[in-house]
Amino acid sequence: MKLNKLITKKGILFLLIFSALVFIGDKINFSKLVGAENQFFTLFQFFGPVAGAFLGPVVGVLSVLIAEIASKIANNAAFDFVTVLRLTPMLFAAWYFGAKKDKLSFFVPIAAIALFIAHPVGRQVWFFSLFWTIPIIVKLLPKKYGESVFLRSLGATFTAHAAGGAMWNYIVPMTPGAWVTLIPIVIYERLLFAGGIAISFVLLNTLLDRLDAKTKSEYVNVDKRHVLFRQAS
């Protein structure tokens, strides 16, 4: 989708709705990040990637970045090194959720696995990086499975986890044992995040479908297969 399609009434409306959700979501902590003070997963994790589906991967990533920065400024967050780095995983997740079988969707988890195993600590717990094969597997599935909203959501949240986990291994000192203890937590959190992303996508899809019916806009992608209470045409 072309960048100029964000600069429309409908594109700006979506960006405002999405930014408001990010602002609220960033204020509600879900779980603490291991190894760092005052760093949390928030409700943003439950819907962040969906922008890629509505605006396309390129503009979706841009909208996520704008919303993230605006939210951090509005919430008076300190733009330290860790905070800035934490902006990037959701950008990759938004790309993954909005793109088809493109090279970047494969490159991010593969690069994350390679970087993780290249680290002396990561090499001892190489099996942790097997989580990051999930986005690859989802993209390789037959179309009828790969386009499942939940599986796309699962691939997107593990793409964010891959990017974040690979970086975390280099910037936050952690022992192999700490990574092992994270395994059940990762399974629990990512399944919840995937469910939240899927639900958020369906709800926003339904809302935007209603707006499309009123504005007759074609600038925001709406998937008619995932509209609640769809009226017969």
pLDDT digits (tens, 9 = 90+) for 179-220: 999 999 999 989 999 999 999 899 888 887 777 666 655 556
* pLDDT-wise least confident of 26-40, 69-83, 216-230: 26-40
pTM: 0.83
Q: What is the pLDDT of residue 117?
A: 96
pLDDT band at 73 (very low <50, low <70, confident <90, very high): confident
Pairwise CA distance, residues 139 & 104, whole Å:
11
At 125, list the tokens.
Answer: 């717990």
121: CB partners within 8 A, 6+ apart: 169, 174, 175, 176, 179
State how many domains the chain has: 1
Distances in whole angstroms, Cα of residue 134 to Cα of each of 83, 88, 213: 26, 19, 36
pLDDT band at 233 (very low <50, low <70, confident <90, very high): very low
Inside any domain, residue 88: yes
**Rg value, the chain, Cα:** 18
Write the DSSP symbol of residue 30: E
pLDDT > 70? residue 63: yes
CB atoms within 10 A of CB 226: 17
Inside any domain, residue 63: yes
pLDDT > 70? residue 59: yes
Are 219 and 8 spatial neighbours (Cβ–Cβ below 8 Å)? yes
Q: What is the pLDDT of residue 110?
A: 96
Enclosing domain of residue 70 = 7-216
Beta strands in the chain (DSSP E): 29-32, 40-42
Inside any domain, residue 210: yes
Inside any domain, residue 2: no
Inside any domain, residue 168: yes
- 174 or 218, which is more confident? 174
Inside any domain, residue 231: no
Q: What is the pLDDT of residue 208?
A: 78
Pairwise CA distance, residues 6 & 12, whole Å:
6
Pairwise CA distance, residues 75 & 57, whole Å:
26
At 100, list the tokens.
Answer: 């088809």
Mean pLDDT of the chain: 82
Inside any domain, residue 193: yes
- 85 or 6, which is more confident? 85
Q: What is the pLDDT of residues 95-151, one digit of tens each?
A: 999 887 778 889 999 999 999 999 999 999 999 999 999 999 999 988 877 788 999
Inside any domain, residue 1: no
